[in-house]
Amino acid sequence: MAAAAAAAAMMLGGSAASAAIMIATYTGTVSSGVDKIGMFGSSLAGEQFKAVFKYDTDGGVSDITPTGAHAYGPGVMLDAYLEINGLISHVPTGYYGSVQQSTADVQHLSIYDDGAFQTYFYIGLFGVSPPLDLTDAYTRSSGETSARWAKYNYSTGQYDVELNLSSPTTLAVTTAAVPEPATWAMMILGFGLAGVGIRDSRRRRGVALA
């Protein structure tokens, strides 16, 4: 209990570390494509979409130059999904993800391949100047877009879903919410109290059995 209280006090007195978890949200229009399995519905051309990439800038390999920053690898993308007509499909994570920001463009990519299917989700916004620090928040509402969602079926050799996503596209990159120090302190204190309760319960049972 004392240890939990001490840890809570340290958390309350300390400052929050800068977060490296970011969320990029795109909105725009489906320009063309096919959905043979009804993942998002039918007649999708002209429908509005929302695309979300949640990524850890410290989760993979980092490549930083004077003209840009790039993070890539299996540990970068924590979540990625596309929403159309209220229907959402996530790309399974842990295979490969990438985020890139340069003086001329920003790009997000999530790929999953299990040998039976490959899901490929990519959006790039060109002609823009995002911050070169991957942990900075920003918004862009113009630029030339290249975007694609595809699910390839290895057994048929065809795409079950293949969509092209087009402008106008708005991109908002924000810092993912992380618990405040006080919240962490309460969580730690709660765990400590739970541990004390379990120990007291076991002690009482031991006395009763004796």
Contact assessment for residue 79 and residue 56, using Cβ atoms and an 8 Å cutoff: no
- Same domain for 154 and 185, yes or no, is no
- Same domain for 191 and 103, yes or no, is no
pTM of the model: 0.77
Structural domain including 79 reads 21-175
Contact assessment for residue 51 and residue 26, using Cβ atoms and an 8 Å cutoff: yes
Whether 99 maps to a domain, the answer reads: yes
Q: What is the pLDDT of residues 92-131, one digit of tens each?
A: 999 999 999 999 999 999 999 999 999 999 999 999 999 9
- How many structural domains comprise the chain? 2
Q: What is the pLDDT of residues 127-185, one digit of tens each?
A: 999 999 999 999 998 888 899 999 999 999 999 999 999 866 799 999 987 554 444 34
Q: What is the pLDDT of residues 52-61, one digit of tens each?
A: 999 999 999 9
- Same domain for 152 and 92, yes or no, is yes
- Same domain for 33 and 57, yes or no, is yes
- Same domain for 188 and 131, yes or no, is no
- Same domain for 91 and 162, yes or no, is yes
Q: Could you tell me the CA-to-CA distances from 6 to 9, 170, 176, 182 in Å, in that order?
A: 5, 46, 28, 13
- Largest Cα separation within the chain, whole Å, is 77
Burial track 169-208 (b if 16+ CB lie within 10 A, e otherwise): bbbebeeeeeeebeebbeebbeebeeeeeeeeeeeeeeee
